[in-house]
Structure formats: C-alpha cells, structure tokens
Amino acid sequence: MGFIEMTINFSVESRSSDSPARTGTLELENGMFETPIFMPVGTRATVKSLSPEELKKCGTGILLANTYHLYLRPGADVVAEAGGLHEFMNWSRPILTDSGGFQVFSLSDMNEVTEDGVQFQSHLDGSKHFITPEKSVEIQKKLGADIIMAFDECVSYPADREYVEKSLNRTLRWAERSLKAAEDLQDHQHIFGIVQGGTYPDLRKKSARRTRKLDFPGYAIGGLSVGEENKLMYQMLDVTVPELPSKKPRYLMGVGTPRDLIEGVKRGVDMFDCVLPTRLARHGSLYTSRGRINITNAAFKKDFNPPDKDCSCYVCRNYSSAYLRHLIKRNELYGLRLASYHNLYFFLDLMRKLRYNIRRDTLDDFVESFYSGWAEE
C-alpha cells in the first residue's frame, strides 16, 4: 500500500455555551473517533484480560500503549517485524503510544538525565539503556502508532520552581528534536507536544506558549496526575488550556477518576487515559452511578442485583454482585475480566454522556445530576 500522507484531522463540532467544553472528531489513518474520549491503557500491547472484540463492544475508540515497556520487552524490532502494534495485537482502530518519558522517570532505576537524553536501568533486569528524543521517536515509529508523543521529562510532585523551569526548558529543546526526528521519518503529522511546568502557573503558561510555537498537530498536558491535589490539577488546566490552539486536540495524560474526567472536559480537554478502571477492577473496586464500591464487601454476599442497576453493560445485564464477589474473592480470572469490562464500559459511557450533553448544551445539568448521586471518592 502506498504511503498515505495522513494528517491528524481534528474538527470541533459543538461547544458548550458556558464553559470551554467542546465535542469534536479526530480522524486518523486507522479510523476516527469522537471527543471528548477516554483511552484504555494497554501498556504492554494488551488492555489487561480484555479481547479486541470486547474493547470494541464497550466502545473503545483508541487505546494507549507504552514505548518504555515495549522497547524493553519484546523489543521494538519484534513488533516492527510483526507488522507493527496493530497487527501484533490484532487491534485495527487507532493507537497512541506514550514516549517513555514518564515511565523512565517513574518505573526505571534512573541513572542520569543529560541534555542529550536519559540513562536508565531496566526495572526488569537492570540492563543499562540510553534514550533520547530521536530514539523515542524511532521506537514509536517502529511500533506504528497513529499518534506518538514527544520525549519529555515529567517532573515529580512536589518539585522546586528552579528545577521545574530548568526541566521545562530542556523538555522544549527535546520537543524540537522530537519534531525534527518525526519530520525525518515523515511522521511529523502524528506527533503531539507535551506541556510541562509543574504546579507553577507562570511556568505552565511559558511551557504552553513555547510548545505551541513549534506547531504540533496536537498538544498533551503532562506533569499532572503525579500525586498533586485535584484542585491544583484543575487550576493548572485553567491556566494551560487557554494557551493552546482551540482547533487542535488537547490530551491530559494519566487522568483520571470520573470526577477528573468531568472537570477536565468542562475545562476544554479532549482526550484522557488512565490505568484506574482496569487496575482497580482487578482489586474488586467497581465504578457505579452511586460511586465506587468494593464488590468483595460482605454486604454483596447475597446481593443478586447487578453491580450497577443503571448500567446496561454485558456484565450488569447478565451477572449479580454476589457472583462477581464470589469470583473476585477466589481470584478467578473470569471475575477480573468481568470487573475490567464493567469499569471500562462505565468510563466510556460517561464520555458518551458528556459528549451527548455538550451537543445539547445541557452539560451543567448533567454534571449536577451525576455529582448528586455520586459518593465522594
């Protein structure tokens, strides 16, 4: 097949009259999806325990995979020889890969950060590696994602201002190098820049303005959901989103809970990803219209109602809380699968409801009714 010069076609469709919230469509080489959207996390080329058919059935439009993990195992060359991630994992819809910046800093035994790149030891076998913006883009190109991310440093929280400023300046230089590397691989139409700046409003604005100058097809807001208070995260969105071009997609990395998704959408964010729905499911923690419950609680021992009476997912239509409790307590694989499916459906259904209410300009009413039945986290 000839190389199709596919750009990231994003169009804003409707706007809420009393907030920056908007709906849109994002068209990529492997399909299109509506925004705001939640991306299930498939770190090692699988959304744990769920099949591609199940992911599609619960409404997954695009999923996320991680460069850091796939680079270490099975290796980018193995995935490339398999025909890329879509072939490898039998997923025909869009995929976004994170650049490894966050994972190197959060998971590996960090050795050294230099202007050129990051030296680290694998958290799997202690082997030494050196990753640069160019290397990260090359790996993501081999993985064959529809959207790739610039290589950045996600500063942990809290961090002093001097370090945050030094780091964001280096991330800006890395962003230029990532963009240049993508251009050399004809992938510049598929790469998002990442805004940093910690929890310092003026540094957030500086990072956003300087990243925007590089004219990426899309922009991620990084350096958040790293343990800071939600209120602080929302304040950083308030100062960052207005600095980003309104006609390009905005992706808030690693976020979040249902409340975070709602507050992010209200502030004009279009894309989200988080491990919470699938990770918490494996511990029996289920999201429902009344808040988060733990299905292993004794109260569900003889509860033959579905986990969420307001949920129309396959799990809630066919199984009881008592059955799920039994499976999860016995660590039965099927229980992990059912809980993961329901949580993912809950997150994706919440995004559907948000899109529907933005289009009808009834977002405020929907949010109010959602929170009224929602037990505090």
How far apart are the two ends of the chain, measured CA to CA in Å? 49
Residue 227 engages ligand 6MM in binding (rule: CB under 6 A): yes
8 Å CB contact between 50 and 340: yes
Residue type, 183: E
Residue 225 engages ligand 6MM in binding (rule: CB under 6 A): yes
Instruction: Choose the stretch contacting Zn ion; rule: CB under 5 A; options: 38-46, 105-113, 136-144, 307-315.
Output: 307-315
- For residues 65 and 253, which CB has a smaller minimum distance to ligand 6MM in the complex? 253
Residue 313 assigned to a binding site: yes
Number of residues that bind Zn ion (CB under 5 A): 5
Q: Which of 28, 194, 315, 350 binds ligand 6MM (CB under 6 A)?
A: 194
Residue 70: count other Cβ atoms within 10 Å of its Cβ.
24
- Could you say which of Zn ion, ligand 6MM, none residue 313 binds, taking C-beta under 5 to 8 angstroms by partner kind? Zn ion
- Could you say which of Zn ion, ligand 6MM, none residue 85 binds, taking C-beta under 5 to 8 angstroms by partner kind? none
Residues 104-133 that bind ligand 6MM (CB under 6 A): 106
Phi first, then psi, for residue 287 (nearest 5°) are -85, 130
The verdict on whether 98 is a catalytic residue reads yes
Q: Which of 146, 187, 270, 273 is catalytic?
A: 273
- For residues 208 and 311, which CB has a smaller minimum distance to Zn ion in the complex? 311
Instruction: Choose the stretch contacting Zn ion; rule: CB under 5 A; options: 17-25, 147-155, 212-220, 337-345.
Output: 337-345
Measured CA to CA, the distance from residue 188 to residue 192 in angstroms comes to 9
The verdict on whether 273 is a catalytic residue reads yes
**What are the strands, taking DSSP E only, across the chain?**
9-15, 22-28, 31-35, 37-40, 63-66, 95-98, 109-113, 118-121, 128-131, 147-149, 191-195, 218-221, 250-252, 271-274, 285-288, 291-294
Residue 101 engages ligand 6MM in binding (rule: CB under 6 A): yes
Say what the alpha-carbon torsion angle 198, 233, 95, 118 is, to the nearest 10 degrees.
Answer: 20
Measured CA to CA, the distance from residue 349 to residue 335 in angstroms comes to 21
Measured CA to CA, the distance from residue 47 to residue 28 in angstroms comes to 21
Helix%, strand%, coil% for the chain, nearest 5: 45, 20, 40
Would you please indicate which residues are annotated as catalytic (active-site) residues?
Answer: 98, 273
Binding residues: 98-102, 152, 196, 223, 311, 313, 316, 342
Q: Which residues are at the interface with Zn ion (CB under 5 A)? A: 311, 313, 315-316, 342
Q: Which residues are at the interface with ligand 6MM (CB under 6 A)? A: 98-99, 101-102, 106, 149, 152, 154, 194, 222-223, 225-227, 253-254, 275
Binding residues for Zn(2+): 311, 313, 316, 342
